[in-house]
A and B are shown apart, each in its own frame.
Chain A
Amino acid sequence: MDIARRNNVAVTGNPQGRTVVLAHGFGCDQNMWRLTLPALAEDYRLVLFDYVGCGRSDTTAFSAERYATLEGYARDVVEVSEALDLRDAVFVGHSVSAMIGVLAAAMAPERIGAHVMIAPSPHYLDDDDYRGGFSADDIDELLASLESNYLGWSAAMAPVIMGNADRPELGEELTDSFCATDPDMARVFARTTFLSDSRKDLRSVTVPTLVLECTQDVIAPREVGAFVHAAIPGSRLVTLDATGHCPHLSAPDATNTAILNFLAALS
């Protein structure tokens, strides 16, 4: 199988630099890194990809069974790493991808030499003393939200996502489509993401790790950032003065600076 095509892999940046893998989270695709690329491209070799079922991945490779667990997504990371023969790469994972990176590193330790976790959360549900921020009903509501925005997707987005090269007039709509996903696959990713529990897996992390959190993030509140930081010995925690769950979009300069400082300290 052509993994590079399956996961829509793009390699850019400085071919001589250390490899940095940028992994998008639930809800979008590699376009999320648009404001990160310029800052890192000069000194680092950058690998971007879409998880199967997201962005412009080969959706025929999707299997609801494989992607019912984060391990399925982690295998995407391992397979992309193998296809490019990555060694000791820095894995930058947004949101759930930070945990996917942890699982991938456990599967193939030689591939990943450091983690940058942007707004990570190992467990989204409240659970005894742990405050993930959400109840199971909340997750059902999210799934309903995905469904509600289903109809519009099917009609307007599907042809664009499917990449009709013979219909260039669709290109104009492209800007609206880049975070659109097949709702069935999005539902699987949502369920897998928000019902996952990777708290125990954090202990397996032994490589240098940077945890980036935002001051105001409903999805990964500061208690969760503190939990991740505490669970990974030697990790560095940086709190960005940013609101929302996507500091690499809402506060790109601060986010890039934090990542660059961490990368510089690695070498």
Chain B
Amino acid sequence: MMCRTGQQQEPHEADEAESSRGAFAALLEDSAEELYENAPCGYLSTLMDGTIAKINATLLGWLGLDREAVVGRMRFTDLLTVGGRLYHETHFAPMLQMQGEISGIALEIKQSGGGRIPVLVSSSVKHGSTGEPLLIRTTVFDARQRRAYEEELLRGRKAAEEARRQSEADRARLQDALAVLQQSLLPDILPVLPGVETAASYHTASPDRLGGDFYDVFPLDGKRFGFFLGDVCGKGPQAAAVTSLTRYTLRTAALHDPDPVTALTTLNKVLHERYAAGSGDPRYCTVVFGTLEPDPDTGQVAVRIASGGHPPAIVTRADGTADFLPTPGGLLVGVLPSAQFTAATTTLAPGDTLLLYTDGITEARTGPDRTSLYGDQALLSFASDHAGKPASALIEALTALLQRFGDGLDDDTALLALGAPTAGHRTRSSR
């Protein structure tokens, strides 16, 4: 260990400093030319047409070419692979011409032995005193290490893209399957009922999930027709299973005894036995069930309905008014072993329409920040604005309204309108 004892330098220390200064000076002597030739990157100067005017030893070494074979004889693009030449002509050269410089472009240079070296190329145009372009200066960096890494990134990116495509395809398949299943829970087309105009619409909030809303219209006994519309609690495959059971139970029950209270009582019993009592997994629904009896002589339609916990139906009248048709006391269907349902009746005169809906529409979020609910009164008021119109026109208007809700509509919505047609609209149905 050396111990300094004072300011005075030891003689050999002074010698060392002197020689290091000398080495540094020698390095500086080495200077421009030496640095240019043997820098750890390739240097290249070309005329504006690409003819190589100057090239350093490093780059010649990479290329495996003699200076005489290159200078004045080759163009920059001659050093590139054909693909690289195409890239140069279509991207590199135009950008260089327009911007005067370009940097960090990945290309490959050909070696005389047949090999290739991935490089990163930057160029700038040297201009003369009057601004005219004189020559192009180019630096070429060895990018072998970097390129290997980038290729891994590219492979990773491709794998990720492939996975994304696959998952999108899977999602599309799932949506197709769900759409088919969903359709199977709804009537294909509404039957043509003599003396009644029918129209329906189903709005799916999410294509990824089976909705739990349902409706149906069907003939009973030649002069009467049954209909129902409801909403199963929950979504997804389980809800779809309940929907399916509900549909077939109501249809079968109605054929046995079309009285609405009886049909709902039967449904309540079946659902409760199957789920709440059967598997300890209570599942229930809200539903309006009813019958229609058109009178061909008067054009009137007698309606008898019962409701199990479902929002009240709306009746629009030919005179331009609209009202709820209350069905008091109805309980959710499937919760309790026995439930009481009461019936309500009304008569549709020509131009009157009975509208059934699920709460997707009344619970749509509206307002600038989507915080208020659309509500029962707004729906009633909307319906009265369209009172007197045919059932199909009412459904069209409501469908447009649903679309206007946009992403404020986050639940499925089923709509069913049953109208006593005016003389000009007899026996039309649409969906």
Residues of A in contact with B (beta carbons under 8 Å apart): 25-28, 31-32, 34, 95, 134-135, 137-152, 175-176, 178-179, 194, 216-219, 243-246, 249-250
Contact = CB atoms under 8 A, between A and B. Distances in A.
Interface string B391-422: 00000000000000000000000000000000
A4 to B, nearest CB: 24
A243 B50 contact: yes
Contact of A246 (B85, B97, B147): B97
B95 A141 contact: no
Given A31-B98, A142-B83, A249-B98, A147 B154 contact: yes
B107 A175 contact: no
B81 interface: yes
Given A32-B94, A34-B98, A219-B90, A145 B50 contact: no
Nearest to B105: A149
Contacts of B153: 151
A27 B85 contact: no
The 3 closest A-B pairs by CB, nearest first: A141-B83, A27-B90, A148-B106
Contact of B99 (A27, A152, A176, A246): A176
Nearest to B161: A184
A138 B108 CA distance: 13
A145 B48 contact: no
Contacts of B97: 246, 249-250
B77 to A, nearest CB: 6
Contact of A138 (B48, B86, B90, B91): B86
Contacts of A26: 90
B90 A244 contact: no
Interface SS of chain B: helix, strand, loop or mixed?
A: helix
A179 B90 CA distance: 9
B98 A145 contact: no
Given A134-B82, A141-B81, A148 B150 contact: yes
Which of A146, A147, A152, A244 is most buried by chain B, counting CB atoms within 10 A of its CB? A244
A148 B147 contact: yes
19 contacts: A31-B98, A137-B82, A141-B86, A142-B83, A144-B83, A145-B108, A148-B118, A175-B99, A176-B99, A218-B77, A218-B86, A243-B49, A244-B50, A245-B90, A245-B93, A246-B94, A249-B94, A249-B97, A250-B97
Nearest to A216: B49
B94 A145 contact: no
Given A139-B83, A141-B81, A141-B83, A244 B99 contact: no
A28 B86 contact: no
Contacts of A143: 83
Contact of B86 (A142, A150, A151): A142
Given A249-B97, A249-B98, A27 B91 contact: yes
Interface string B110-134: 0000000010000000000000000
A143 B90 CA distance: 12
How extensive is the interface on chain B, given as a class?
Answer: 20 to 34
Nearest to B90: A27
Nearest to B149: A151
B87 interface: yes
B89 interface: yes
Contacts of A216: 49
A150 B87 CA distance: 13
B154 A145 contact: no
Contacts of A249: 93-94, 97-98
Contacts of A135: 82
B84 interface: yes
Nearest to B86: A142
A141 B89 contact: no
Nearest to B91: A27
Contacts of A27: 89-91, 94
B104 interface: yes
Given A27-B94, A32-B94, A145-B107, A218 B99 contact: no
A218 B49 CA distance: 12
A32 to B, nearest CB: 6
Given A142-B87, A179-B94, A179-B98, 10 more contacts: A31-B98, A134-B82, A135-B82, A142-B83, A145-B87, A148-B147, A152-B104, A218-B77, A249-B93, A249-B98
Nearest to A25: B90
B84 A145 contact: yes
A218 B84 contact: no
Contacts of B83: 138-145
A145 B86 contact: yes
A244 B50 CA distance: 9
Contacts of A138: 82-83, 86
Contacts of B85: 218
Nearest to B97: A249
B155 to A, nearest CB: 11
Interface string B38-49: 000000000011
Contacts of A245: 89-90, 93
Contacts of B99: 175-176
Contacts of B150: 148, 151
Contacts of B154: 147, 150-151
A179 B84 contact: no
Interface string B60-104: 000000000000000101000111111101110111011100001
Contacts of B105: 149
Nearest to A135: B82
Contacts of A142: 82-83, 86-87
A225 to B, nearest CB: 15
Given A27-B94, A216-B49, A249-B98, A149 B87 contact: yes
A207 B105 CA distance: 41
A34 B100 CA distance: 14
B205 to A, nearest CB: 25
A26 B89 CA distance: 10
Which of B50, B87, B99 is most buried by chain A, counting CB atoms within 10 A of its CB? B87
Contacts of B106: 145, 148-149, 152
